[in-house]
């Protein structure tokens, strides 16, 4: 398998409370983001970068550039990811910055952040969204 192929213009909130913050990078709808503790800005999450960069807080629902507002959904939400999912499959932060990956695509050394379970072929249920803090061995 591979990262979820997404169309940014198709990403939409289904349920949950939208959140807003300041972007620290170029972000498009569907990108997985984390909060950089040093800058207090949201950047692209990356499973093979570091535990902090893999600790995603949500999935963007808007376009943003460094310094502008970014809107996103986090834990407890359901989002149409703008791509095709396999219903019932768990999804995680990818080793490619900002992307969503099925569990099978995680590699040794990646930091595991569980994004959710595919509730349908388009909707990701992020009820149990969790940055585990564990690195794959």
Give residue-wise pLDDT tens across range 9-27.
999 999 999 999 999 999 9
SS3 content of the chain, % helix, strand, coil (to 5): 5, 45, 50
What are the b/e assignments for 32-66, b being 16+ CB within 10 Å? bbbbeeeeebbbbbbbbbeebbbbbbbbbbbbbee
> What is the average pLDDT across 102-116?
95
pLDDT at position 39: 97
For CA atoms 21, 106, 131, 86, give the dihedral sign: positive
3-state secondary structure (DSSP) of residue 8? helix
Domains of the chain: 8-135 (2.40.300)
Question: What is the reported pLDDT for 1?
Answer: 64
Cβ atoms 100, 60 nearer than 8 A:
no
Mean pLDDT of 100-125: 96
Reduce the secondary structure of 54-119 to three states and give it as a string. HCEEEEECCCECCCCEEEEECCCCEEECCECCCCCCEEEECCCCCCEEEHHHCCCCCEEEEEEEEC
End-to-end CA distance of the chain: 20
* Model confidence at 35: pLDDT above 80: yes
Mean pLDDT of the chain: 96
């Amino acid at each position: 398998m591979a990262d979820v192929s997404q169309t940014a213009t198709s990403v939409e909130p289904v349920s949950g409370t939208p959140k807003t913050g300041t972007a620290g990078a170029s972000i498009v709808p569907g990108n997985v983001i984390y909060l950089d503790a040093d800058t207090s800005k949201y950047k692209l999450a990356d499973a093979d970068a570091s535990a902090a960069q893999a600790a995603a807080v949500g999935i963007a629902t808007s376009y943003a550039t460094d310094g502008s507002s970014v809107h996103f959904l986090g834990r407890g939400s359901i989002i149409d990811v703008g791509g095709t999912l396999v219903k019932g499959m768990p999804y995680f932060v990818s080793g490619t910055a900002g992307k969503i990956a099925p569990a099978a695509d995680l590699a040794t050394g990646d930091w595991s952040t569980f994004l959710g379970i595919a509730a349908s072929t388009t909707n990701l249920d992020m009820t149990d969204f969790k940055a585990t803090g564990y690195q794959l061995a």
